[in-house]
Amino acid sequence: MNIPKILTEKADETEAKLKEIYPELAPFFKKCFLNTIETTVTPLDDGSYFVITGDIPAMWLRDSAAQLKPYIRFAPYDDSLKEIFRGVIARQSYYVNIDPYSNAWCASKTNNAADDKTDFYNDLIWERKYETDSLCAPVFLAHEYYHATLDNSIFTESFKGMLEKIVEVFEREQNHASSHYFFKRENCPATDTLPNDGLGNEVSYTGMTWSGFRPSDDRCLYGYLVPSNMMAVCALKKAAELASVGFNDNKLESECRSLAFDIEDGINNYAVIETESNGKIFAYETDGKGKYLLMDDANSPSLLSAPYLGYLKPENEIYKNTRKFILSNSNPWYFDGAAAKGIGSPHTGSGKIWHISLIMQALTSTDPKEIRDCVSMITSTHAGTYFMHESFDKNDPSDFTRPWFAWANSLFAELMLEIADGKFTKMLFN
């Protein structure tokens, strides 16, 4: 595929700027910034675009949106880049309309998901792990793209159908006991299948919407995944705006806003936990029955990412308390080693730190030392590749998982763009 000219121009321009203001970042920029467009984006015969996640030949709704995010700011100035965004948004809408419960898809027919036990099957599905954030991500992408370009051609009937399905599923999963969704997989790790005959552990009504799996694709212990509900609140507010400006649909707009209010109310009432050492903090998961999980996972949406999502400001007191907790040994998935310290994930096991979490820590920080420390850890743990990885050993960065993980590269490119554009200039260089 031909790379839009503006991206190669901006790659050169930003690399030159970084050489002047933050030289240690310069060798990373082109490689990470262009990785998604060079290696993961493919045009399809119907005019849409397919985006693989990297070393797995499938399109995750979440990953594909995140991978393209750094390019949105340049879309107004390049028609070929606009075409790619329109094509990806169209492809995401197409998939959600087939099945809003599937998190990952194939470009052509396959039998990859045929052995999983669930209530729906389609031979385009790569995996049918229902993840709340998978429905949020296409809305985030479309909303940001529209605001950057005012390109109303994305407002198709398929796109509207996607918005309607998202609302329908989020509402249904407020009462998961009445849902038809279940998921079971045999001969797999316990984290790849749902307990209770595929239904997940029991939950009570809270106002929040249920999720079977986390952004890591690991199952939820308790059904109300708080960071994903935070993202859902933001996505529904964006969907309300798109329903209004794109379709003049007051009913859909109202439904989106009402649902966002219900979910946020559920977070406030059921997901804020009083702790002895940190005061009030957000739980990672809860069941609405009194059980909750205090931790954070490296994958976004995470509790760490709440300001990045737009859910709250970094000055929010509960967030500050939560951030202190999750960036400490109190978080069971925080690791401090000889090479780095940061948040990992049950998905990759003990002692493995994720580049995504270090990047997100920098993007959400208001402390210049913390940002510089994160950048230093990121740029010293690439194992000579100048690419980001899924995870690396806290003591030995040469021991890493997933050498081709486009989402992590894109997120790092986003941080580098913010630095080059001056967002952190006063904090970092004064």
> Which residues fall within 8 angstroms of residue 314, CB to CB, at 6 or more apart?
307, 320, 323, 364, 365, 366
The answer to whether the bond into 301 is cis (omega within 30° of 0) is: yes
Residue spans of the domains in the chain: they are 1-39+333-430, 57-314
Scan for tokens 């990952």, then name that residue: 104
What percent of the chain has pLDDT above 90? Answer: 97
Which pLDDT score, from 0 to 100, does residue 425 have? 61
Cβ pair 298, 344 in contact under 8 A: yes
The total of other beta-carbon atoms located within 10 Å of residue 353's CB is 30
Which pLDDT score, from 0 to 100, does residue 430 have? 54
Q: What angle do CA 222, 262, 156 make, to 5 degrees?
A: 100
Which pLDDT score, from 0 to 100, does residue 429 have? 61
pTM: 0.97
Specify whether domain 57-314 bears CATH 1.50.10.10.
yes
Q: Are strands 117-118 and 183-184 parallel, antiparallel or unpaired?
A: antiparallel
Over 80: is that where the pLDDT of 426 sits? no
DSSP secondary structure letter of residue 220: P
The sign of the dihedral angle between the CA atoms of 377, 380, 383, 389 is positive
pLDDT digits (tens, 9 = 90+) for 102-129: 999 999 999 899 999 999 999 999 999 9
